[in-house]
Structure 1
C-alpha cells in the first residue's frame, strides 16, 4: 500500500475538501481536520496542515494537492501505424451508466497528443479529464457509446452479464467507427476479460467486426489510442453522473462504496426503487444494502 505525505498550501487543501466532499467521513482522531475514504485511497488532513494519503490510488488524489505525479510514458513501440484502441469507464460505479469509446490514432497525431499530456484517465484528475476531452473529441476520430443505467438494467435482465455487456459495447463501438471509413492496422481493447471469453461472447452480436481484435492488459499505458478513449469515456461517464444528479436532486457519487449506499437509501425513501432503476446498476450489492438501511 502506497503512502504519500504532503504539506500543501491552505488554499489547495480547501479546494481539495470542496472537490471531494462526497468522500468525506467522520474521524475520531482529534488531530484530523478532514478525513476522506475514496476509491483506492484514504486521505487524512491534519490540523497541522500535513496530509497523509494511503492506498493503491494515493498518487492520483495527491496530484490535486500539488504532488508531482510519476506519469507513465506511452512510447512509440508497437503503434507506428494507424491503430484503433478502446476503453470503458463506469463498470465499477454503482451510479451512472457504462461508457465505451473507440478511437483511431495515427502516428502523425502522437506528438500533439503528448503535448496535451494525454495518458491513462486513471492517472489524471477529473478536472484535467474535463479539459482534455473536448479537445480530443474535436481532433480525434472516435465513436462514443453510453449505456444509460435504465437501459443497462434492461440489458442485464434480458440475459447479458457484466462481461458480455461490455463485449457488446466494445464490439459495437469498433464496428461503428469502422463504418465511418477509417482503416487501422491493429485494433486493441484494454483487457477486461480473456481473449477466449471475448471471442465467445462476441459471436452472439449482430454486427461483426471482421478484422482481428486483440485484448491487452494495461493497454491504456501502452497505446495512445486507448489512452484517448479512456479520457473521452471518463468525461462521458462524469457528464452522465452530473446529469442524473441534477435530474434527481441528489449528488450521485462515483464508485460503489458506503457513500453510494447512503445516497441510494435516500433515493429509495424519496422516490422508490424506480429512482435506482433510472440512475444505478441494480445488480450491484449496493441496492440490497440501501434497502436494509431504510428497514432499520
Structure 2
C-alpha cells in the first residue's frame, strides 16, 4: 500500500479539507480531525498538522490536491507564515536558563486591532528591552491583551524535573506551553494561528505533548526567533519576563539574599552562601537543583 506523509501549515490543511469536503468519512481517532476517501485512497488530517494519504491511489490524490515533492514516502516541512494580519496566539517562556527563580510561560492572543496599541508602547522582544521598560509596560499589556500566564516555582520545579521524576528540562516546558495555550483557548478566543517560540524540535514537542492530559486540537507551529516576528509572542515574552523578575525578587526577600539571574559564577557564590545559611532546603526554595551550579556551590562551601 502506498503511503504519503506531509507536515503542513494549518492554512494548507484547511484548503485540502475544503477540497475533500464531499468525500468526508467518519473517523473515531481523537487525533484525526478530518478523514476522507477519494480516488482509491484514504486522506487523514491529524491535529498535529500531519497529513497521511494511503492506498493504491495515494499518488493520484496527492497530484489532484497539488501536493508537490511526493513519492513512495514523503515529508514536507511545515510552511512558515510570518503574516500578522490574523488573530494569533503566541507563547514564550522566561527563566529556563536561570539557576535561581522559576519558569514563567505566557500565551497571548493578539488581533490586528491590537497592533497600533502595541507599537505605541514599543512592544519588542523582551531580550532587547531593559527590565525597567518591561516592568513598566507589562501591567498595561496584562490589562489590555487576553493572555494566560503560568509560573512554575523552583520548589515545584524540583518536585517534577530531574532524574527519576516526571519531567526533564524540555518536557516540562512542553507541558507548560501546552497548558497555557489550552487554558487560553478555554476562555473562548479563536486564533487563526498558534505560534510557540521554538525551544525544541517539532518532533520532540509532539513526542512530549502527546502525553499531556489536556490536548490542543488546533495545529501549533514552532518557530525560531518568533518573538521578533509576531507581536503575540513579543507580548508573551514581556509579560513572562516581568513575572520572572517579580518571582526572583520575592524569592530573594524570602531568604534575605539578592538572587542573580542567569547561571554564572555569581550564582554559584550566592548558592554557596544560601547553603551555609539554610542548607539544601533553602536552595531548593530558590533554585533549580539539577543545574550544575548546585555541585559548584557545594564545592565552594567545602573549600
Larger Rg: 2
With the shorter chain as reference, the TM-score category is 0.7 to 0.9
1:277 equivalent in structure 2: 284
Q: How does 1:247-266 map to 2 (within 5 A)?
A: 247-266=254-273
Residue from 106, 119, 143 that aligns with 1:101 = 106
1:236 and 2:246 equivalent?
no
1:89 equivalent in structure 2: 94
Q: Which runs of 4+ in 1 moved over 4 A?
A: none
Q: Deviations over 1:106-133 (max 9, x none)?
A: 0010011001000000000100000010
Q: How does 1:198-217 map to 2 (within 5 A)?
A: 198-217=205-224
Residue from 155, 166, 176 that aligns with 1:159 = 166
Residue from 185, 190, 203 that aligns with 1:196 = 203
Q: How does 1:139-150 map to 2 (within 5 A)?
A: 139-150=144-155
Q: For 2:257 and 2:82, how far apart are their aligned partners in 1?
A: 45
SS at match of 1:162: coil
1:130 equivalent in structure 2: 135
Q: For 1:227 and 1:163, how far apart are their aligned partners in 2?
A: 21
Give the drift of 1:159: 2.7
Give the drift of 1:99: 0.4
Q: For 2:198 and 2:82, how far apart are their aligned partners in 1?
A: 19
| Structural RMSD (CA) | 0.9
Give the drift of 1:236: 0.3
Give the drift of 1:79: 1.1
Structure 2: stretches of 5+ with no match in the other structure: 1-80
Structure 1: stretches of 5+ with no match in the other structure: 1-75
Give the drift of 1:77: 5.1
Q: For 1:159 and 1:109, how far apart are their aligned partners in 2?
A: 39
Q: For 1:216 and 1:132, how far apart are their aligned partners in 2?
A: 25
Q: For 1:281 and 1:153, how far apart are their aligned partners in 2?
A: 6
SS at match of 1:144: strand
2:10 equivalent in structure 1: none
SS at match of 2:195: strand
